[in-house]
Amino acid sequence: MAEQGKTPIPKSQREIATGLNEPTIPGNDPNNVTKYFPSLADARANNQSVQPARASRISQKEDSWKPFTIGIKDLDEAIKYYFDNVIQPSVVQNGNRIAVPTIYGSPERWKSVQRDGYYRDKKGKIMAPLIMYKRTNIDRNRGITNKIDANFPQNYAVFQQQYTKKNHYNNLSVLNGAKPIKTYQAIVIPDFVTFTYSCVIYTYYMEQLNQIIEAINYAADTYWGDPQRFKFRAMINGYQTITELNVGQERTVKGNFDIKLNGYIIPNVIQKDLDALKKFSSDSKVIITQETIESLTRDRGNQFIEGINTNLD
Partner 1 sequence: MALFGRTRDVNLIKTINRELLGDVITQQCSFYKIRLEETTFNLYGEAAGGKFYDGPIIFNCLVDRNDQEYPESDLGVDFNWSTIFKFLREDILNAGMQPEVGDIILYNDGYYQVDDVISNQYFVGKDPNYPNEPNPLNPGLSDFGGNLSYIVKTHYEPADKFGITKERF
Strand partners, 12: none
Residue among 240, 137, 238, 239 nearest 197 (CA): 137
Distance CA 278, CA 188 (A): 8
Judged by CB under 8 A, does residue 97 bind partner 1?
Answer: no
Judged by CB under 8 A, does residue 127 bind partner 1?
Answer: yes
Strand (E) or helix (H) holding 303: helix 302-312
Count CA atoms within 13 Å of residue 194 on its CB side: 11
Give 26 or 105: the residue with its C-beta nearer to partner 1.
Answer: 105
**Residues contacting residue 276 through CB under 8 Å, at least 6 positions apart:** 153, 156, 186, 188
User: Can you tell me which of 26, 71, 124, 307 binds partner 1, judged by CB under 8 A?
Assistant: 124
Q: CB–CB of 101/118 below 8 Å?
A: yes
Judged by CB under 8 A, does residue 250 bind partner 1?
Answer: yes
Give 11 or 251: the residue with its C-beta nearer to partner 1.
Answer: 251
Judged by CB under 8 A, does residue 98 bind partner 1?
Answer: yes
- The residue range among 37-45, 151-159, 244-252, 269-277 that interacts with partner 1, by the rule CB under 8 A, is 244-252
Number of other residues whose CB lies within 10 A of the CB of residue 40: 19
Number of other residues whose CB lies within 10 A of the CB of residue 81: 19
On the question of a cis peptide bond just before residue 129, with omega within 30 degrees of 0, the verdict is yes
Q: CB–CB of 197/133 below 8 Å?
A: yes
Closest contact distance (angstroms) between CB of 49 and partner 1 is 47
User: Can you tell me which of 6, 66, 122, 166 binds partner 1, judged by CB under 8 A?
Assistant: 122
Give 17 or 128: the residue with its C-beta nearer to partner 1.
Answer: 128
Give 126 or 174: the residue with its C-beta nearer to partner 1.
Answer: 126
Residue among 64, 56, 75 nearest 186 (CA): 56
Judged by CB under 8 A, does residue 71 bind partner 1?
Answer: no
User: Can you tell me which of 30, 107, 227, 301 binds partner 1, judged by CB under 8 A?
Assistant: 107
Distance CA 79, CA 71 (A): 14
Judged by CB under 8 A, does residue 82 bind partner 1?
Answer: no
Site string for partner 1, 170-209 (x = CB under 8 A): ------------------------------x-x-xxxxx-
Q: In the 8-state DSSP scheme, what is residue 166? A: S
Residue among 78, 103, 101, 105 nearest 91 (CA): 101
Give 147 or 254: the residue with its C-beta nearer to partner 1.
Answer: 254
Judged by CB under 8 A, does residue 106 bind partner 1?
Answer: yes
Give 115 or 179: the residue with its C-beta nearer to partner 1.
Answer: 115
Judged by CB under 8 A, does residue 215 bind partner 1?
Answer: no
Distance CA 105, CA 266 (A): 25
Give 141 or 243: the residue with its C-beta nearer to partner 1.
Answer: 243
Q: For binding to partner 1 (CB under 8 A), which residues are involved?
A: 92-96, 98, 103, 105-107, 109, 112-113, 116, 120-128, 130, 132, 134, 200, 202, 204-208, 243, 247-250
